[in-house]
Structure 1
Amino acid sequence: MRSNRHNTVIRINQALQSIASWGKRWQATFAPDNTQAVLISRRQDADNWDQHAILLEGRRIHLQESVSILGVEFDFGLTYTSHVRKIAKDAAWKLSCTQGVAHLLDAQGVSTLYKSQVCSLMEYAPFAWSSCPRHTSASLTGFKPEPSGWPD
């Protein structure tokens, strides 16, 4: 078991070395501090992987419980639960702010603000919602898109 992990770390480091060499050849730089890594596994002893040194340009890359790619966060179990929770919280906050300034705007202004702030947030990467527990996705499905009395 330990030798399999060790061999895997060696192969990962070789791949990262090749990527770093390619980057130097093409004058592309990589930021090891901004590099994210997550171990996707069902094994109970997966936590022990962080003790192994995965390196990019000589700097250690720590394993994280979740990573964000293009604004979509997923965790080691390939679920998007934390992403959906954040979307629901942000959408509720933006809706509250929109409602707070609605009296200052005409119908078209409120509609534009709502569509640009709330709808765009809810519509970005909706595939993430499908893998969430029912109680988490309920925070999104219970979200009333356009409050009554608001213009289309």
Structure 2
Amino acid sequence: TSYLVIPNKRHWVSYEREMRLPHLHMGNIFGTVALEAAYTHGDEWLGQLMQYLEANYRFLEHFFKEQMGGVKVMHPDATYLIWLDFSEYGLTDEALNQKLIDAGVGLNRGVQFGKQGKGFMRINIGCPRSILQEALQRIQQALKP
């Protein structure tokens, strides 16, 4: 279930016309109920989630600072996807990606977002701490000299 806010009336009419063609405007009742419940009763859960994500970020930041100083961690603005700068390792994007894949870690490649993403990878910290810790340890093993 999702929704859009389209303030421009012309854009809204165009969007609505397109969505009605394949009957995409018909929502799922379970998703609608879940969405309403989240907005009505989700404040406590959201607060706990934000604390958990912040703790995961601090864990990741501390790990790289203490264990892998060559990786620079970018502080997120509004997401649980964290940019990591691996450029100090001097690897091509392909070589870096392959090392991580061989270690069983799948990160988003920075070059997917343009040439300025060279040397960067993106990691998802919206996961259990145990999964994050295992991923970080695998990254460390993959990049050992």
TM-score (norm 1): 0.27
TM-score (norm 2): 0.28
Please identify the structure whose Cα radius of gyration is greater: 1
